[in-house]
C-alpha cells in the first residue's frame, strides 16, 4: 500500500527538509511547498515496512513505536482538516496498538493482532493520503506536535482518547 510516486514539479528547491528522516528535495504547488515524490515514498515506505514486520514474528518495539508516532502525526493532520476519514479510526488504532504494547518486552518480538492489523491498515491508508495532499508546513507541524506530546512527562502526555475528546473536528 505504499504511495505511488507523483510527477515532480519542475520547480524544485535544493534545501533539505526539516528532520523527519527525509532527505529529499521539496516541490512547489502554487504558493505552498509540498513533499517531493521521493519524500512521500520514503515516509510511506518506512511505515509500511514497520507494518509488514509487525505482521510477522520479526516485529520489534521500535516498529510499533514508529506506527504509534505516525498515528499521532496523522491525528494532528486530521484535526487540522487534512484527510478524509472518521475520528474513530484513531480511537480504534489507539486501542488495538495499546493492547499490543502491553504485551511487548523492550527487546522482544512484537506482532499485531488481527484487529490491530485491520485498524493500522486504515490508519496508514489515511496517512498516505494526508501526505499527498498536505503542505510541508502542515506535515512538519503535525510531527512537531506529536513529538512535543511524547517529550512531556508521562503524567502530562495526552492520549489519543483525550485528543479526540478535545478535537474541534469531532463530529465531521
The residue ranges of the chain whose pLDDT is under 50 are 3-26, 28, 30, 171-172
Asked whether residue 7 is domain-assigned, the answer is no
Report if residue 32 sits inside a domain.
yes
Residue 37 lies inside a defined structural domain of this protein: yes
Number of domains comprising the chain: 1
Taking alpha carbons only, the member of 74, 63, 69, 53 closest to residue 132 is: 74
Give the residue numbers spanning the domain of 146.
25-166
Residue 106 is assigned to a structural domain of this protein: yes
Query: In this predicted structure, what is the pLDDT of residue 32?
Result: 76
Shortest CA distance to 159 belongs to which of 83, 85, 75, 86? 75
Examine residue 14 and state whether it is found in any structural domain, yes or no.
Answer: no
136 domain residue, yes or no? yes
pLDDT at 73: 98
Cα 15 from Cα 19, distance rounded (Å):
12
How far apart are alpha carbons 141 and 82 in whole angstroms?
12
- Asked if the structure places residue 102 within a domain, the reply is yes
For residue 96, is it within any domain?
A: yes
Torsion of CA 18, 20, 22, 24, to 10 degrees: -30
**pLDDT at res. 170:** 52
Q: According to the model, what pLDDT value does residue 68 have?
A: 98
Amino acid at each position: 500500500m505504499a504511495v505511488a510516486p507523483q510527477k515532480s514539479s519542475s520547480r524544485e528547491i535544493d534545501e533539505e527538509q526539516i528532520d523527519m528522516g527525509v532527505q529529499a528535495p521539496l516541490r512547489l504547488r502554487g504558493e505552498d511547498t509540498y513533499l517531493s515524490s521521493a519524500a512521500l515514498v520514503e515516509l510511506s515506505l518506512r511505515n509500511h515496512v514497520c507494518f509488514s514486520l509487525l505482521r510477522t514474528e520479526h516485529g520489534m518495539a521500535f516498529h510499533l513505536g514508529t506506527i504509534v508516532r505516525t498515528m499521532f502525526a496523522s491525528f494532528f493532520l486530521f484535526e487540522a482538516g487534512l484527510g478524509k476519514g472518521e475520528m474513530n479510526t484513531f480511537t480504534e488504532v489507539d486501542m488495538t496498538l495499546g493492547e499490543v504494547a502491553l504485551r511487548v518486552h523492550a527487546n522482544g518480538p512484537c506482532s499485531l493482532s488481527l484487529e490491530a492489523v485491520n485498524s493500522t491498515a486504515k490508519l496508514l491508508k489515511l496517512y498516505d493520503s494526508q501526505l499527498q495532499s498536505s503542505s510541508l508546513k502542515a506535515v512538519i507541524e503535525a510531527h512537531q506536535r506529536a513529538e512535543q506530546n511524547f517529550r512531556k512527562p508521562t503524567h502530562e502526555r495526552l492520549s489519543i482518547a483525550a485528543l479526540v475528546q478535545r478535537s474541534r473536528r469531532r463530529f465531521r
